[in-house]
Structure 1
Amino acid sequence: MTTNNPGALLVIGSGLKLYREYIVRTVSARAREAGLKLVLVNNLKPTWQNAYFDDITVVNVFDHALLAETARELATRYTVTGVLCWDEPLVMPAAELAAEFGVPGLSIPGVHGCRDKHSCRTRLTAAGLPQPGFELVPDLAGAREAAARIGYPVIVKPRALGASMGVSLAADEQALESAYRVAHEASLVGDEPYRGGALIEGFADGPEISIDGAVYKGEYLPMFVARKSTGMPPFFEETGHVVDAADPLLRDEELLGVLTRAHQVLRIENGITHTEVRLTARGPVIIEVNGRLGGDLIPFLGKTATGIDPGGVLFDVATGQRPDVSHTRAGTAGIRFGYPAHDCVLHSVTVPEETPGLVLASPMAEPGTTLRLPPGGYIARHSLVVCEGPDPDTVARRLAHAASLVKVEAEEVEPPPAGTTLEMPAGLLDVDE
């Protein structure tokens, strides 16, 4: 049956301006070139989004039934030719809608493997890929038994949250009780099917990296590698990333083989994935596969360093085209996030305007925001700086210098009492005044 409805790309959640506008800008331009409308379903009243989208509907996108109902109504007015999503809590309903509308998507098995860390571990282990021991437990007693079987140290994490929220290392049984409580309580702010309990895993020791790659009809196409920096042990707050177009890991046959096999096992069909890997003594071990672009501006670093435009790649796979992931630049780019030394109420943040290699510097929280460090809060960032250069050492020096120029005024506050309900990270700037 044919209709006169205009063709459209349906976008589920725009994300924050600071983190995702560069993606939206490219997708919008490509949609216009292709004669497609760009239609957004978003949780917030639009501001900056108005410049890029032809139609915006504001609903509670975290009510997945309401989101699906809204998308179906839009599909009566448009011919949906693709569904795009880069927001972690929304990748599941976005994949379900893509399947329902018969357009390219992660696939239902694929999105479950990405969103549910326990499902991912189970399937990769069954396929013989290197994985730590793991058990999903409903309570502290189960956590103790699982950790004893797996062997300390163990990682304790929620089943389905992003940004390392609720994830910590328990070196022994004494540390396990606190780690379990943190993971369990953090899970309560996530999707309802994955609330409660915790995932106990053996600790895969070694440097941590992430790889953003495209998947086209099941074919895995790596784009760029980010080397990750973390802090605040026993937690894993991500404090920075560096992408080098010449990273030798992009030519590492063992790593690429593990990535390709993992995507086949999880039955991911079309999209962009962000895979986190530990480089251990026994080889690369996948920590998780996320069914979306990387966060923390990693795709922006990739674009700056390699010339690959992630927005263009996303448009291609969403519309059934094999993307070109060839590098057109040979540089390095990195990001460093500014964190307070303690929980605080932020009064002001001033970032540098000029310094060698500076690409971007921005506050990440407004005056009056309370920033809480783990376990009382996560992603308590007051600023970011992005620098580029010819190699990782140069970029590291430039990042350190740029970060030293950030000026912060804040008032220390006491951490919240143990057991306080975790609030989602506050202070990530958007322009939704």
Structure 2
Amino acid sequence: MDSFPERANGGVLVVVGSGIRLYREYLLAGAAREHPLWLFDTDEPTWQSPYLAGFSRVNTSDPEALVAAARDLSAVRRIDGVFCFSEALVEPAAALVEEFGLSGMGSEAVRNCRDKSRTRTLLASSGVGQPRSAAVSSYDEAARAADEFGFPLVLKPRGLAGSLGVVLVPEPAGLFDAYREAAAPNYPGVPTFEASVLVEEYADGPEISVDGLLADGVYRPLVLARKKVAMEPYFEETGHLVDPCDPLLSSGELLTLLTDAHRALGATGAITHTEVRLTASGPRLIEVNARLGGGLIPFLGSLATGIDPGRCGARAALGRPVELPVAESRQVAGIHFAYPPEDCTVESVRVPDRDALPGLQQAISLVTPGDVLRLPPRGYISRYAYAICVADTVAACRERLALAGAALGLEHRPAPALTTDAEPELVWAPLSPGAAR
């Protein structure tokens, strides 16, 4: 049974938003092992309750409402820090960091990460390796940027994450459709911009993500994942693999890039999730997110190394040193996300039992009968299941993930027709409210 710090008295760590249980409970549990938690959220807690010292109902998207709720709380409990792992809420949460003078990233640093055009400008001024980029507000502007950069190109929304609306454009004929697709997506709580699309050089090569933090001027990686993408020209993330002995963890070139990028953005005092492309010319920074990674990447890190990512995130938010555990044994951990072969309505999902396959840790259905799944550009992150495996080597883990992926099954029927002018449906798995709770 988990043991938690004394909750009756003393200070609390304010958690802004708890997210979906399936994807974020392990972070909340880890944070609770470090410090008493007080949740600010829009709904009364259910599964979150065992981890909490208290709760305040508040509009988490409204910085002024958050500050008002925190002032009320501070009259009875000392606020020791603010922890947020929701992409849509990191900017409102930063208002609390500033209001109470706490450790962590303030509003300017968070905006430096959230606004990808602003990120590019700051990184360019510091000489950080990255693709050339231009923020545009029309197709004509996109065409002029394309003439300057040449093809292939990538078009992406300026303020979203998770590869939503990101499109590869190999040649001029695809630019018009790609601009429409990159300009269409939006998500509640995520800011929009007048020049809402970025046109960027394509950084060819494998993609990695690194969860870590800048401390005492030096970047320290905690979890490095190799990413698998599919559905070209889109960049749907179909898997991640974490090798605790990955040689990139000690790459001076990569660590210098990460250190310089975080210094340029002022991204200090919190764990971030950074995406990098490994090109023939060296690593190129794609984006920095002011939160822990999604897609259960930090959870893979816990399986691979024994690290407690939620506790590490809480320690960073409290201004405490974040130390990596010295694991007696380490293993490679990976996740496979299953997508439908076409737009469809779910009838049933088949997942294997944990003991049915070697190294299988989890096999989870993310949908229920009747859910509609649409592939890009009509929908994004339309996963119907995932499987997590561990093994002693990278090759063995990949083999086990392939077996687990083949054991996942989907019965489906055609999806309802969309109107021709329908915008993409931004779908975040798990789709089913029942699965989410």
- TM class, shorter-length: over 0.9
Equivalent position of 1:345 in the other structure:
345
Distance 1:343 1:195, change over 3 A: farther
Residue 217 (structure 1) shift? 5.0
Equivalent position of 1:303 in the other structure:
302
Secondary structure of residue in 2 paired with 1:136:
strand
Q: State the distance in 1 between where 2:126 and 2:401 align.
A: 41
Q: State the distance in 1 between where 2:197 and 2:169 align.
A: 13
Secondary structure of residue in 1 paired with 2:368:
coil
Equivalent position of 2:95 in the other structure:
96
Deviates more, 1:193-202 or 1:355-364: 193-202
Equivalent position of 1:405 in the other structure:
407
Secondary structure of residue in 2 paired with 1:320:
coil
Equivalent position of 2:394 in the other structure:
392
Equivalent position of 2:374 in the other structure:
372
* Contact 1:218/1:268 (8 A) holds in 2: no
Give aligned pairs, total. 425
Equivalent position of 2:165 in the other structure:
166
Deviations 1:117-139 (A, max 9, x none): 11111111111111211110111
Residue 316 (structure 1) shift? 1.2
Equivalent position of 1:141 in the other structure:
140
Matched, 1:79 2:81: no
Equivalent position of 2:18 in the other structure:
14
Residue 174 (structure 1) shift? 1.7
Distance 1:245 1:5, change over 3 A: closer
* Contact 1:187/1:195 (8 A) holds in 2: no
* Contact 1:371/1:426 (8 A) holds in 2: no
Q: State the distance in 2 between where 1:196 and 1:256 align.
A: 32
Residue 427 (structure 1) shift? 4.6
Structural mapping, 1:208-287, within 5 Å: 208-287=207-286
Residue 54 (structure 1) shift? 2.4
Deviations 1:128-186 (A, max 9, x none): 11121111011111111111111111110111111100110112222111111111111
Q: State the distance in 1 between where 2:358 and 2:247 align.
A: 26
Equivalent position of 1:199 in the other structure:
198
Q: How high is the sequence identity, in percent, across the aligned residues?
A: 42
Letter of the 1:26 partner, please give it.
G
Q: State the distance in 1 between where 2:386 and 2:311 align.
A: 25
* RMSD of aligned alpha carbons: 1.9
Letter of the 1:332 partner, please give it.
V
* Contact 1:106/1:269 (8 A) holds in 2: yes
Distance 1:58 1:348, change over 3 A: farther
Secondary structure of residue in 2 paired with 1:293:
coil
* Contact 1:369/1:426 (8 A) holds in 2: no
Letter of the 1:388 partner, please give it.
V
Secondary structure of residue in 1 paired with 2:69:
helix
Could you tell me which runs of 5 or more consecutive residues in structure 2 were left unpaired when the two chains were aligned: 1-7
Q: State the distance in 2 between where 1:212 and 1:427 align.
A: 21
Secondary structure of residue in 1 paired with 2:103:
coil
Q: State the distance in 2 between where 1:50 and 1:326 align.
A: 28
* Contact 2:203/2:279 (8 A) holds in 1: yes
Distance 1:99 1:374, change over 3 A: same
Distance 1:178 1:307, change over 3 A: same
Q: State the distance in 2 between where 1:12 and 1:288 align.
A: 23
Deviations 1:15-44 (A, max 9, x none): 11111111111211222xxxxx31111234
Distance 1:180 1:109, change over 3 A: same
Q: State the distance in 2 between where 1:192 and 1:23 align.
A: 25
Distance 1:402 1:195, change over 3 A: farther
Deviations 1:317-358 (A, max 9, x none): 111111102441421000000100011111221211121001
Equivalent position of 1:320 in the other structure:
319
Residue 381 (structure 1) shift? 0.4
TM-score (norm 1): 0.93
Equivalent position of 1:34 in the other structure:
none
Letter of the 1:93 partner, please give it.
P
Deviates more, 1:366-375 or 1:239-248: 366-375
Deviations 1:173-227 (A, max 9, x none): 2211111111111147563443663111010111101111133354421112100
Equivalent position of 2:4 in the other structure:
none
Q: State the distance in 1 between where 2:428 and 2:91 align.
A: 24
Secondary structure of residue in 2 paired with 1:268:
coil
* Contact 1:376/1:415 (8 A) holds in 2: no
Residue 57 (structure 1) shift? 2.8
Equivalent position of 1:30 in the other structure:
34
Secondary structure of residue in 2 paired with 1:186:
coil
Could you tell me which runs of 5 or more consecutive residues in structure 1 were left unpaired when the two chains were aligned: 32-36
Residue among 417, 425, 428 paired with 2:427? 425
Deviates more, 1:99-108 or 1:148-157: 99-108
Distance 1:138 1:315, change over 3 A: same
Secondary structure of residue in 2 paired with 1:113:
helix
* Contact 1:130/1:285 (8 A) holds in 2: yes
